Amino acid sequence: MLEERVQRLEAGDLKLEEALEVFEKGVAASRTCGQWLDQTRERVQVLTADAEGQFRLSFLDDEDDH
């Protein structure tokens, strides 16, 4: 979806109005994908082992702090 839009823009054969429309739709799709990733990241849990071999379940974002 995004790749197709980039390819169309890079081809350089679009009229200005068409290029602007493709660009705007690409930006909107990129934002939507970013939101989906953020929401998914909040839901993903990770099982890790500490130095003593004890397992701990934490959310993926918690791992960024360590």
Q: Which domain holds residue 20?
A: 2-63
- pLDDT, tens digit, for every residue of 3-20? 999 999 999 999 999 999
Residue 57 and residue 36: Cα distance in Å, rounded?
Answer: 22
Give the predicted TM-score (pTM) of the model. 0.60
Residue 64 and residue 62: Cα distance in Å, rounded?
Answer: 5
Number of domains in the chain: 1
- Share above pLDDT 90 across residues of the chain, in percent, rounded to a whole number: 48
22, 14 Cβ separation under 8 angstroms: yes
Question: How many angstroms separate the Cα of 63 from the Cα of each of 12, 20, 54?
Answer: 43, 39, 16
The pLDDT confidence band at residue 64, using thresholds 50, 70 and 90, is low
Output the six-digit token pair for 63. Answer: 């791992």
pLDDT of residue 25 exceeding 70: yes
